[in-house]
Amino acid sequence: MKQLVQATSAIIIVCLLLFFASRSLESAGAKGSKDTLTVYNWGEYIDPELIDAFEQETGIHVVYETFDSNEAMYTKVQQGGSSYDIAVPSEYMIETMIEDDMLIELDHSLIPNMKNIDPYFLDLPFDPGNKYSTPYFWGTVGIVYNPSMVPEDLTFESWEDLWDERLKDKVFLVDGSREVIGMGLNSLGYSLNLKDDLALREATDKLIELTPNVKAIIGDEITPLMINNEATVALTWSGQAADMMWENEELDFAVPEEGSNLWFDNFVIPKTSKNIEGAHAFINFMLDAENGAQNADYVGYSTPNAASWELMDEEVISDERFYPDVELRERLEVYENLGLKWLGKYNEYFLEFKMNLN
Amino acid sequence: MQSKNRTALFPYVIWIALFVIAPIALVLYYSMLDLSGNFTLENYKNFFSAIYLKMTFTSFWYAFLITFFTLLIAYPTAYLLTKTKHKQLWLMLIIIPSWINLLLKTYAFIGIFGLYGPINAFIEVFGFDPQQILFTDFSFIFVSVYIFIPFMIIPIFNSLDKLNPSLVFAARDLGASSWTTFRRVVFPLTIDGVKSGIQVTFIPALSLFMITRLIAGNQVITLGTAIEQQFLVSQNWGMGSTIAVFLIVFMVLTMMVTGQKKKGGRV
Amino acid sequence: MNKLSAASKGYLVLVFIVLYAPIFYLIFYSFNSGGNMNDFESFTLEHYKAVFEDTRLLVILINTVLIALLSGLIATIIGTLGAIGIVSMKDKKLRNTFLSLNNVLIVSPDVVIGASFLILFTMIGVKLGFTSVLVSHIAFSVPIVVLMVLPKLLEMNTSLIDAARDLGATKRDVLMRVILPYIAPGIFAGFFMAITYSLDDFAVTFFVTGNGFSTLSVEIYSMARAGITLTINAISGLVFLVTVLVVIGYYFVNNRTKARMGESK
């Protein structure tokens, strides 16, 4: 019994100590400012120095929270209980959030730096006139591969190359129904936003033929595998491919000609916001030419900020794999919001494909 | 004794009401909704399609394998631990690795199992070709067993620890072989610990989800994975809830099989 | 006492090697100047320096430990009392119902628990943050405590209680002096398992947290998309080192006081 009492009191004392330690650290960080701004973003998706700079410049204290998927972020913002001032969803999620009336209309007069954005990335179908969002990063979906480990004639300029018999047990796919089913549709020459049972069936059957080549369907863990030369070919996002190629110079990235996905992560201000003015200031700050360049340099994804391009390494900007020219972009499609019914079907087909793996 | 026990139970009953009954009610409610929020039994019908039945079977099979191997490794470990000098300390040292974040450990396993990792380097010393160990049944079961080992060891350790050594000596004196002693004396006396270890392994193993992707590369799909997908990707909370309802039913069945047969205690 | 054969020792050593391998792997690379867990370039302490410079990360670390200890403690109290209550139930059906209800949270995938707790909290109007995370962690740790304490209670010799009662002990005395000391190993086991649950949880915490409150798990999982930094390795290495030192230190201090008490008697 004595042991139990002792242990309990020890734990309570430690808890108290920790509580005060956390309190004092937090207040030291806040610098007594009452004006706070909660930013909800993907992890490691911003240069922390920029947050410090923003705090210095405006006196607003930034609370930074992170999420790991659009859907999880959506649930959190929708349920409320926490006041997010800025969120960074992908384009199809922005469409859903607009539909569900979860976003505040942007006041463009407070975001003069919007002029820095390349017009190509403005006024897109998921948010006409950029009423609710401003672009943050963008990219494509394609194939990252190690040329020294695949037969020379495979350049992945066509999706068909993935089906090559010599790639048995060598292909890695991302764990996303839109990406994988979309690839199946693209490889047949269909749009990746198709709502047609027959075409989806056809795409799934075609994908099932791919299963002997598929080694695994995974998520972000593909990065260390590609860097390590443990994986040979992987379907992935361009941003991640850039990360891999940064570490492993042997790797190459290709966006197949039949078409692929063009994605965006944009800033939005959810209706939960309690500091709308601060949120606008933050967006404007991030769209500044210099800040945008610094951030793109840190994160390694493609930035839509044309003014930043001027300040960035020429070699990065002219790399067509990550900054495809207009002609290339023509072949790419942005995900449309399929609606829950069709999204469900995509997932059912994807599940069927996965069940055929083993 | 009764009144005293009622007050002791009070916080526990509140907990059950708030965090068990209420969520079950929510899950049941959602399981009967379709995508547009109308009442339907369609989800239950869907569960009996070939895909989900196959998935249920896979989940059970892997949960069984994981529990089996965990027990196989944990029982001797627990037994030997009770014989060491600083047994409580060693037991603590078994638990500590599970306090390091699972995702991080998974990344470590990706490195360790990798083609150029230490395991393959070791294999090569013996003249074998390096093998891709990741994304196989082996790696999946290995890592699952790794996760559940402490959960299995602790209850077994606790029941072995209090085992009266004179019982073992008596059996040996009466001429029983060490195997017979174990089978007839030691094991039956520790059966409660084993059962509790099986419960804390088998039941969560049915709904494993993170490592089915991280380590098995989706080669293994369990009910837990499907639920996660339905909630987070399809945003079809109805179907997700339906699978969860079935998981709860399977859990109750498992409990009935491994449940305590003895009459109520006296406390 | 030391009568383990070489083979037995070898077996234990092997088990420990496997259990610790990934952790040492992580710690090894936390000294890597290369910035990733693939190539070891050269030795550096920069990642450890980064930990102490990052106030936000330190606050998150402290919060994580605080939540783990506090939720573990409270869950252990609720769970132990619950287990005692369950065992004393005479009605077998009622008992089994309680046991099944107890396990619901163990079998439910984290997403389901997280989502339903989130709905619950917003329905009641709880502000998301420290409190909601603490309450959720207590909630999902209670069943594991019950499962750890239960076997100890079941194997308890009822004659012990009878003897105590015959000697005129009150109910309170029986609980404090007979039952609790006997089931103490189960209680400790429950507490440590509760901590394990709390430290490892990502999905539930993610859903019920808010207003800037975060734990290490949430932070690590959301980093996965852009790559986990070695700072996280360093912080894990530090946590690991401190835990091991505290456990070993506590064990020996405890043993010495016990031994001294034995002598004085």
Residue C225 pLDDT: 63
Could you read off the pLDDT of C1-44 as tens digits, one per residue?
456 788 899 999 999 999 999 999 999 988 988 777 767 888 88
pLDDT in tens, C58-92: 888 889 999 999 999 999 999 999 998 888 877 87
Would you tell me which residues 94-113 of chain C have a C-beta closer than 8 angstroms to some C-beta of chain B?
95-96, 98-113
Query: Alpha-carbon distance C265 to C256, whole Å?
Result: 14
Q: Measured between CB atoms, which of B98, B107, B149 is closest to C37?
A: B107
DSSP H helices, B162-236, are 165-173, 178-181, 187-189, 191-206, 210-214, 223-232
From first to last of its 265 residues, chain C has per-residue pLDDT tens of 456 788 899 999 999 999 999 999 999 988 988 777 767 888 888 889 888 888 888 888 889 999 999 999 999 999 999 998 888 877 878 888 888 888 888 877 777 888 888 888 888 888 888 889 999 999 999 998 998 888 888 877 677 777 777 787 777 777 777 788 888 888 988 998 899 889 888 888 888 888 778 888 888 887 766 667 788 888 888 888 988 888 888 788 777 766 766 555 4
Q: Please answer whether residues B219 and A357 qualify as being in contact, where contact means their C-beta atoms are separated by less than 8 angstroms.
A: yes
Cα–Cα distances (Å) from A71 to A92, A96, A163, B177, in that order, read 11, 10, 31, 60
ipTM of the complex model:
0.86
Which of chain B's residues have a Cβ under 8 Å away from the Cβ of A71?
232-233, 235
Write the burial class of residue B177 (CB in 10 Å: 0-12 exposed, 13-18 middle, 19+ buried): exposed
The CA-atom distances, in angstroms, between B187 and each of A148, A215, B157 are: 57, 42, 12
Please state, in angstroms and rounded to a whole number, the distance separating the CA atoms of residues A187 and A258: 6
Using the Cβ of C199 and the Cβ atoms of chain B, whether some distance falls under 8 Å is answered with yes
Range in A116-130, A210-224, B119-133, C11-25 the model is least confident about: B119-133
Residue C242 CA: distances (Å) to CA of A343, B231, C236? 47, 38, 10
Q: Decide if A217 contacts A173 (C-beta within 8 A).
A: yes
Band (B260; pLDDT cuts 50, 70, 90): low
The H or E element spanning position B34 is none
Nearest CA in chain C to A228: C38
Q: Is the pLDDT of residue B4 over 60?
A: no
Q: What is the pLDDT of residue B6?
A: 65
B54, closest residue in chain A (CA to CA): A355
CB half-sphere exposure, A65, CA atoms < 13 A: 30
Residue in chain C closest to A242 (alpha carbons) equals: C226
CB A95 within 8 A of CB A126: yes
Nearest CB to B235: which of A217, A340, A351?
A340
- pLDDT of res. B267: 41
Mean pLDDT of A65-87: 84
Judged by CB atoms closer than 8 Å, whether chains meet at C63 and A247 is answered as: no
The chain A residue lying nearest C132, using CA atoms, is: A81
Q: Are A97 and A226 in contact (CB under 8 A)?
A: no
Contact with chain C for residue A212, Cβ under 8 A: no
- How far is Cα of residue A250 from the mean position of the Cα atoms in its chain? 24
Q: Does the pLDDT at position A42 exceed 90?
A: no
Residue A164, pLDDT score: 93
SS3 B205: helix
The residue among C54, C126, C206, C215 with the most chain A CBs within 10 A of its CB, best to mutate, is C206
* The pLDDT of residue A202: 96
B175 pLDDT band (50/70/90 cuts)?
A: confident
Mean per-residue pLDDT for A97-104?
A: 93
Contact (Cβ atoms closer than 8 angstroms) between residue A60 and residue A54:
yes
What integer pLDDT is reported at residue B1 of this predicted model?
Answer: 43
Comparing alpha-carbon positions, the chain C residue that sits nearest to A239 is C226
Asked if residue A205 has pLDDT above 50, the reply is yes
CB contact under 8 A, A25 and C59: yes
**Residue C125: its pLDDT value, please?**
82
pLDDT at A108: 95
Note whether A71 contacts C: Cβ–Cβ < 8 A.
Answer: no
* SS3 at position B100: coil
Any chains having at least 3 CB pairs less than 8 A from chain C are A, B
Q: Which of C85, C115, C232 sits opposite B5 (nearest CB)?
A: C85
Contact A81 C62 (CB under 8 A): no
Compute the mean pLDDT over every residue in chain B, rounded to the nearest whole number. 84
- Give me the count of residues in chain C: 265
B–C: how many Cβ contacts below 8 A? Answer: 288
Tell me, yes or no, if C222 comes closer than 8 A to chain A by beta carbon.
yes
With 60 as the cut, is the pLDDT of residue B263 above it?
no
- A50, A295 Cβ separation under 8 angstroms: yes
Predicted TM-score (pTM) of the model is 0.86
Residue A285: pLDDT over 90: yes
CATH number, domain B50-257, options 3.40.50.460, 1.10.3720.10, 3.40.50.800, 2.40.50.1020: 1.10.3720.10
Residue C183's nearest CA partner among C83, C71, C90 is: C83
Could C108 and B207 be called an inter-chain contact, meaning their C-beta atoms sit closer than 8 Å? yes
Rounded percentage of chain B residues whose pLDDT exceeds 70: 94
Contact C81 B112 (CB under 8 A): no
Tokens (6 digits) for A202:
């056809």
